[in-house]
Amino acid sequence: MTPVTAGAAGPSAASQAVPCEICGNRQHDFRFEKDGYPFLRCRSCGHWFVPWTDTDQKLFETYEQNFFSEGAYADYQRDKPALQRNFRRLVERLRRIQPAGRLFEVGCAYGFFLELAQRRWESEGIDIHGEGIRHARNTLKVTAREGHFLKVQLPEAHYDWVVMWDTIEHLRNPGDYLDRAARILKPGGRLALTTGDVGSWMARLQGKRWRLYYPPHHLHYFSRATLGRLLRDRGLEPEVWTTVGVTRTLDGMLYRLLADRKPERRRRFYEWLRQRGWTGTGFPITLDVFDILLVIARKAGGQG
């Protein structure tokens, strides 16, 4: 792949002015286009991103339309057992580090993580997705609110944990979210997050076909180097870097392989399988291809 410098023409023209989220540099190389979006790489720090030059509101609308059903997920709620297997492993990891106190989840969706976390920590969450929050509150009875993490009132230096599962890559301005996370953490409190690793062998091998290159829902593509820098700049020192496996149902996997953003004929084949019950929703498979990072970073101060 030959990198082409973003020029005055084409989809990357407007994006020239967008500063890099990590280092502020405005010089980027255009790497490729996928689904109509330009992928840029910062010339200074190497950060990969898709510039979003419209408002947050316009970005959020892309979720209301279709993300949790017939979008990125065939049916998020039907995948709950598989999703909660992932979350149980995360609860277990967090518990071994700090088993008590208060936890705040940014991007809690339908509340599937909070449902598990509230048994151990005093837990609450926020999401912009109204339907998800209604499910979280009314059905799962967890503490969750609909709103914008950067705009709601929250106590400072209050939480032992702030968690963001597969969320940071969705944000237009992840640095602002980490700023706020750092402020609401107690001294010695920890931020835990998962996100795709653009430096992984999977991403390098697959190039633009990598499944996590998913615009406009995924806008930022971190490596250990760029994410580490974004965290340290906010006084959050990474303590744990590892990869996590992902559990999916067979149905969830087939949906991604055959239907999500795929040609009509493949979509119809998926529907045909599903109508016959052959995609077996209750069949979870766990796979770790080492391209999803888990990082846990600690705010200075406090006890050990």
Q: Which is nearer to Zn ion, 45 or 250 (CB)?
A: 45
Q: Which is nearer to Zn ion, 95 or 232 (CB)?
A: 232
Q: Which is nearer to Zn ion, 20 or 136 (CB)?
A: 20
Among 6, 40, 42, 182, binds Zn ion (CB under 5 A): 42
Distance CA 104, CA 180 (A): 12
Partner residues linked to 293 by β-bridges: 195, 243
According to the binding rule CB under 5 A, does residue 27 interact with Zn ion? no
Which range, of 13-21, 120-128, 152-160, 288-296, touches Zn ion by CB under 5 A? 13-21
Angle at 199 between CA 196 and CA 204, to 5 degrees: 100
3-state secondary structure 34-71: ECCEEEEEECCCCCEECCCCCCHHHHHHHHHHCCCECC
**Distance of closest approach, residue 44 Cβ to Zn ion, in angstroms:** 5
Among 31, 47, 274, 299, binds Zn ion (CB under 5 A): 47
Element (H, E) at 117: helix 112-117
Q: How many CB atoms lie under 10 A from the CB of residue 258?
A: 21
Q: Which is nearer to Zn ion, 22 or 83 (CB)?
A: 22
Q: How many CB atoms lie under 10 A from the CB of residue 146?
A: 16
Which range, of 37-45, 140-148, 159-167, 174-182, touches Zn ion by CB under 5 A? 37-45
According to the binding rule CB under 5 A, does residue 91 interact with Zn ion? no
SS3 154: coil
SS3 content of the chain, % helix, strand, coil (to 5): 35, 25, 40
Among 22, 94, 142, 162, binds Zn ion (CB under 5 A): 22
For the chain, the residue count is: 304
According to the binding rule CB under 5 A, does residue 45 interact with Zn ion? yes
Which range, of 11-19, 22-30, 233-241, 257-265, touches Zn ion by CB under 5 A? 22-30
According to the binding rule CB under 5 A, does residue 242 interact with Zn ion? no
Which range, of 36-44, 81-89, 119-127, 165-173, touches Zn ion by CB under 5 A? 36-44
Please confirm whether the linkage preceding 215 is cis (ω < 30° from 0).
no
Under 8 Å between Cβ of 226 and 47: yes
Q: Which is nearer to Zn ion, 45 or 72 (CB)?
A: 45
According to the binding rule CB under 5 A, does residue 25 interact with Zn ion? yes
Among 23, 202, 250, 294, binds Zn ion (CB under 5 A): 23
Among 20, 168, 273, 295, binds Zn ion (CB under 5 A): 20
Q: Which of 4, 11, 5 is nearest to 51 (CA)?
A: 11
What residue ranges bind Zn ion (CB under 5 A)? 20, 22-23, 25, 42, 44-45, 47
